[in-house]
Structure 1
């Protein structure tokens, strides 16, 4: 076992090896009775495992409810899967707290699980910024530098790879059925464009 702050990491082997992270159990060993052919015996078990075993019904129920309305989609990037999981847990915990809220007499019927998720989605969409219009953005950028020596150049842009704007417009896909991503684009427009063809086509549309 190892502890960093409030987080306890535990690796333990009973019938099989298990790994566990916990924030609600000390890095200590507890005891539990196990039945054997010679009668009950006491066995030393990590406290985090004892807490999990005592509440495993709630954990399984939580996993079941979380599976009804999953957030996100499959991804090869591990951090996205962690993000989807945390969002699902937060949404479900919010629904559980919502159900436990006291309601005055005559209050409307509480939302069910699906309606609650739908309400969250609608609330998140309210006041969201509109989709970026690349034509407007690049046209304004072009006007801002008119009469100067600044030119549109295809360069390596800062940050991660992003989908090529023109390939996305033309729905071009790779052999693995993914849209091309690139770190290159226009230095002035700050738009990702994968090659010279897309670069020229993009700026031809602006003119």
Structure 2
């Protein structure tokens, strides 16, 4: 695909009918987001341990539900709540935050907004014995008790100002000492306070107050830590694991928020495909970057070119080495009226040169009429049609 063709498609990329407004803030995304989320849920059956967390998709344009979270790397963007399968790292479902939703008001009054988000994401997974791990934005004693009644267990950090909690004093003679632990339990919900460098507050319906010996990172000693803290650090990293897609993404800067969100969705689909690929081939050592490159090659390979370039003759040699070839001018494009293109031979010379050395780019307005390859009319034209490896 030519560059102009790509930008033309990107210019008219659209997912909804503007003549039929429905008042939904996500109308511009059409049905493509819901379709992908439904396919995610139908693709993988969730394992025992799952996690819920929030992420921020970078976007700095004008948008009514754009969020500012200074602790995030992006800081500005669209907030997305995700539920992740901890065994594989597969993203099961994502929900875009567009403001306070009236459909969540009953749950918000009882469990807070974070708890209402948890119940919305967990709706297909209740009464199945799953173990949920999430941070203190979502947890509360009321939520833990309700999930326990629905045969779903929770473990996570806990804020000191939650209702129905009794945190220990931070200052004064009764403050906790390093290594001290305070455990409180009621109706199957356990709150645990452990003093490390600071007081760590945990809530759980799937643990007891057992302690586990862990080797110190430095010094070679052994330290005792609560089992809740260890399991939380182990299983509450699903969203962090899926964030590796940020380092290899297809997103491009755009003034339209729905295009940016679409590219985010494509990256999410590619990452989930990589997770499924690893589950089908458990012994593979393929990295995420290699998987993306192979995917690109397969997509390009499935598109048959309109004209064969450098075909093979009956003698086994490429036609560019055996047939007669002539020069012609490159066709002009919208961005390059003169038809200038980078010479194929000069580009290969740059790649074969020493690393970390800058070489001038060589552009030409000529190409081989038969091969349709941009070439300089002097030595490069002769090299390309006489040397085997070019």
TM-score interval, smaller chain: 0.3 to 0.5
Which structure carries more helix by proportion?
1
Larger radius of gyration: 2
What TM-score do the two structures reach when normalised by structure 2? 0.28
